[in-house]
Structure formats: C-alpha cells, structure tokens
Amino acid sequence: MLEKALQRDIESRPFEKEMKKFGEILLKEPNLLDQLDKTPDKNAFIELYCKLARDRGISFSKDDLLIAVQEQKHGKNWILPKPVLMMVREKF
C-alpha cells in the first residue's frame, strides 16, 4: 500500500523528483548556495533558484517551488535541502 501511495505521488507531482535532484547539486556546489544566500528578497531568490536549476537541465516552475516551500515551512514533504530551508525562513 505504501508503495502505491509513493508511486501516485511521483506521478501526480513530478516536480518533486526534479527539485530533489537540484537539491543534491546544491549540496555539492556551495558556490550555488552562496549565490542564493545573497539574493535580497523572496522574488529574487525564486528567480535565481529556478534559473540555476534550468541551467543544469532541471525543470520545475516557480509555483512548484512555492508549493514545496509552503509545505516544508509547515513541516511536511521534505523536498528542499536544509541549507535552502534556512534561507527560505529568512526571506519568505
């Protein structure tokens, strides 16, 4: 039953896989985290986050990112890496 639920989530929310893939890249490339940390506000952060992902062939929308941020701020569905979550807490 759990396996079916996981498969359903993957099929209905494909952006999660992409975001997790980008999160792994962020953890391996601290200079990207530095760039994100230097963004002055929420909108700049969102724009840069999506651009950095696109530059690496990873695709998700700004709305997808906002969904992930809101869920994570409420303690659900851990998609974003911890360093990004810390930035989100400051900017959002």
Summarised one tens digit per residue, pLDDT across range 18-74 is 999 999 999 999 999 999 999 999 999 999 999 999 999 999 999 999 999 888 877
Q: Is residue 18 part of a domain?
A: yes
Q: Is residue 63 part of a domain?
A: yes
**11 or 70: which carries more pLDDT confidence?**
70
Q: Is residue 2 part of a domain?
A: no
Q: Is residue 52 part of a domain?
A: yes
Q: Is residue 54 part of a domain?
A: yes
- What is the domain extent for residue 56? 14-91
Q: Is residue 8 part of a domain?
A: no
For the chain, how many structural domains are there in total? 1
Q: Does the predicted TM-score (pTM) go above 0.95?
A: no
Q: Is residue 5 part of a domain?
A: no
Interatomic CA distance for residues 7 and 12, integer angstroms? 9
Q: Is residue 43 part of a domain?
A: yes
Nearest to 90 by CA among 29, 49, 47, 45: 45
